[in-house]
Structure 1
Amino acid sequence: YQTSIYLQVGAYRFLLLSFAVVDILISIVHFVAVPAIIMTEFGFIFYGFRFMKASTAVGVWTDLLFVALFYQTFVLLAFHYVYRYVQLCNPSWARWIGQDHPWRNWITLVIVMDVLYIGGFMLAIKGGFLPDDVTRRSFEPIIKEMYNIDLDADNLPGYLGINYRVRQSDGSFMWSFQSLVALLLVLLLFFGSGIVIVFCIWKVKLAMGKADIHLASRTRHLQHQLFRTLLVQTAVPTATSYIPLGSVFVVPLTGLSLGGWGTVSMMSTALFPMIDPFLVIFLVSGYRARLPVIVRRLVSSAAASVTPMT
């Protein structure tokens, strides 16, 4: 059973591997950049704390890298469910995927989904989050008072910031149509992936109930474990990443100023990449049983490579 799990999981193990790789990359960029967020009554600013001494371009590209990696998890989660849905339900519109060169078709599909999804976020960022004189003037006194960071320094630090409402000369605020459109695009992408996930969960659950009577006991047990693991892989980041970070986008619309609490929300996004591999190992019994074997082999290899001193 320990070795046959790889045959039963099939290509799905590569999706699990891709999730692990993205988790590792997010953790690395999180450590290197130390991202922070300040929430105000009119918007929020996101920046990499360790890159505030760098030029505007370096700071912005670092922030964009973090954003692109972070939202990869949305694409991968949705694609996990789409894959399970197509494999179990075999819908007529998706039968072309497995008919001719399935590997090529799946890879093409995930690349297209990824480009469209991340491209949508980049379009939203271009429309309302890139540094400009308005956001720099708005956030400069706040960030200088809180963290002694000068946005008007000679290097003009890079950041991603959005003003939902722009302060007028008389002290009043006026809604920014461009910023609200950028926010709407972000929310559409966010909830769009959520709708795909919910739809696939519903269809997969129905299909698994019908298929149980036709599957071997071992295969049925593994399929249920993988589905349960995927549900946990959705619930945990929803609680630790998506809801906290989603509040960063929405709360400023209410006029509340939460200041550095945005950074706390950002820090919580680092939790899931750290615990995700353990979720897979401990929730899928085949991987759990295989782990001691892998550890023993690594220890044996390390011991064999040590040359005894005479």
Structure 2
Amino acid sequence: MGWISLIKSYIQLVTVVFSLFVNSIFIFLVVTKSPKKLGNYKHLMCYFSFISMVYAILDYIVQPYIHSYRASFSMLMDLKGSAFENNPTVAFFLTASLTGCFASTIYAISINFVFRYFALQREGRLRYFSGKRLYLWISIPFLSGLAWVTNNWFLFSPNPEMTEYLRAEVKELYDLDADKMTYTGCLYWRTDVNGNIYLSKKDLIGAFNLIIIMMIPFFTILYFGSKSYSKITKLMSQGESDYSRKLQMQLYKALVAQTLIPMVFLFIPVGIFFTSPLLGVNIEWASFIITFFYSFYPAVDPIPIIMLIDEYRNAFFNFFRRAMSKNQVVSVVSIDLNYT
């Protein structure tokens, strides 16, 4: 194992342990310390945290190398000496599932924005998130992830031409044996038998499919995020209780912060990596950095909500205050009979 792989393995072990720890704490806080006004939003937050935990576990199992090299983009999994060395199909499915978490995450965030807007509207539309309808909303991130995996299975699976294209590079950088690895990825520009370079339609179609999958939640977030901000601004000038106004603003800030984290750690860097080979831009030098960004995300994602919502933050710090025999901080809750 090369020094890069060794360092990466230790860091990914730390991040998966920290991610499971933080997300478990978050779920506990949501279940036991949530304001009563959150309603079914508690279930959505727990579900989102559960996706992050699955993401972290898959990331540790796969231990991916996110690699951009000239005309190619790929997520690699080393099979040498692993339990999957003789089961490359299972290994590929795990790798594709890890990329599917990418889609599930942003769809889960977009659904949270829809819920928050309906809650701010106070027109009874939260009934669309009640009962069996809640399961329909919960199924959307799963189906989006499944669509991503299916696209990778049929269009971005390993092929001899791309394997040979990567062989020397992955051996030099990561000490990987191209015959003992699997990957999901694309090789946009290929060479025919006559030495002519052409744009691969298969890879282009696969890339287009993934872009379409991602545009839907992005526009959903932009639309409902802007509408929610407008509603909260009006709420501040209306005769609401201080508690209601404060809670709504805390929830909105937490949701925005929870959106910025995957933007910084996932979507912007991976989006650049995904499109650069198509445009002929070689940013191979950043592969190592992006690999760690991809692993760090589930470990830091729940932190903004814990820190920005009073009930969670106070309960979190009170645990340490009790351990140190210091005074505790409690949240003062007022009753708002006009809230719906």
TM-score, length-scaled by structure 2 = 0.76
Q: Name 1:106's counterpart in structure 2.
A: 134
Q: Name 1:303's counterpart in structure 2.
A: none
1:200-215 aligned within 5 A = 200-212=224-236, 213-215=238-240
Q: Name 1:59's counterpart in structure 2.
A: 91
Q: Gapped runs of 5+ residues in structure 2?
A: 1-31, 326-340
Q: 1:177 aligns with which of 201, 204, 208?
A: 201
Letter in 2 for 1:261: A
Q: 2:128 aligns with which of 97, 102, 117?
A: 97
Letter in 2 for 1:205: Y
1:64-75 aligned within 5 A = 64-75=96-107
**C-alpha separation between the residues in 2 aligned to 1:177 and 1:204?**
40
**C-alpha separation between the residues in 2 aligned to 1:30 and 1:115?**
17
Is the 2:97–2:149 contact (alpha carbons within 8 Å) kept by the matching residues of 1? no
**C-alpha separation between the residues in 2 aligned to 1:114 and 1:205?**
24
1:31-50 aligned within 5 A = 31-49=60-78
Asked whether 1:82 is paired with 2:114, we answer: yes
**C-alpha separation between the residues in 1 aligned to 2:133 and 2:144?**
18
Greater CA deviation, 200-209 or 21-30? 21-30
Equivalenced residue count is: 290
Asked whether 1:159 is paired with 2:183, we answer: yes
**C-alpha separation between the residues in 1 aligned to 2:175 and 2:318?**
52
Residues 100-135 of structure 1 show CA distances to partners (whole Å, capped at 9, x for unaligned) of xx1311122221x22442233123213421112222
Secondary structure in 2 aligned to 1:257? coil
Question: What is the deviation of 1:205?
Answer: 1.5
Q: Name 2:212's counterpart in structure 1.
A: 188
**C-alpha separation between the residues in 2 aligned to 1:298 and 1:19?**
30
Q: Name 1:282's counterpart in structure 2.
A: 307
Q: Name 2:52's counterpart in structure 1.
A: 23
Question: What is the deviation of 1:296?
Answer: 6.7
Is the 2:273–2:283 contact (alpha carbons within 8 Å) kept by the matching residues of 1? no
Cα RMSD, aligned residues only: 2.6
**C-alpha separation between the residues in 1 aligned to 2:62 and 2:297?**
18
Asked whether 1:136 is paired with 2:163, we answer: yes
Residues 57-102 of structure 1 show CA distances to partners (whole Å, capped at 9, x for unaligned) of 132022022122233211211111011122223679x57626xxx1
**C-alpha separation between the residues in 2 aligned to 1:184 and 1:208?**
36
**C-alpha separation between the residues in 2 aligned to 1:51 and 1:62?**
16
Change (3 A) 1:17 1:295: farther
**C-alpha separation between the residues in 2 aligned to 1:292 and 1:23?**
23
Q: Name 1:226's counterpart in structure 2.
A: 251
**C-alpha separation between the residues in 1 aligned to 2:33 and 2:74?**
50
Residues 116-157 of structure 1 show CA distances to partners (whole Å, capped at 9, x for unaligned) of 4223312321342111222223222332333332223xxx53
Identical-residue share of aligned pairs (%) = 20
Asked whether 1:199 is paired with 2:199, we answer: no
Residues 280-309 of structure 1 show CA distances to partners (whole Å, capped at 9, x for unaligned) of 121112211122444577999xxxxxxxxx
Is the 1:136–1:151 contact (alpha carbons within 8 Å) kept by the matching residues of 2? yes
Change (3 A) 1:4 1:257: closer
Residues 133-187 of structure 1 show CA distances to partners (whole Å, capped at 9, x for unaligned) of 22223222332333332223xxx53211211111223443210111101101111
**C-alpha separation between the residues in 1 aligned to 2:112 and 2:104?**
12
Question: What is the deviation of 1:236?
Answer: 2.0
Greater CA deviation, 190-199 or 157-166? 157-166
Question: What is the deviation of 1:251?
Answer: 0.7
**C-alpha separation between the residues in 2 aligned to 1:162 and 1:211?**
48
Q: Gapped runs of 5+ residues in structure 1?
A: 301-310
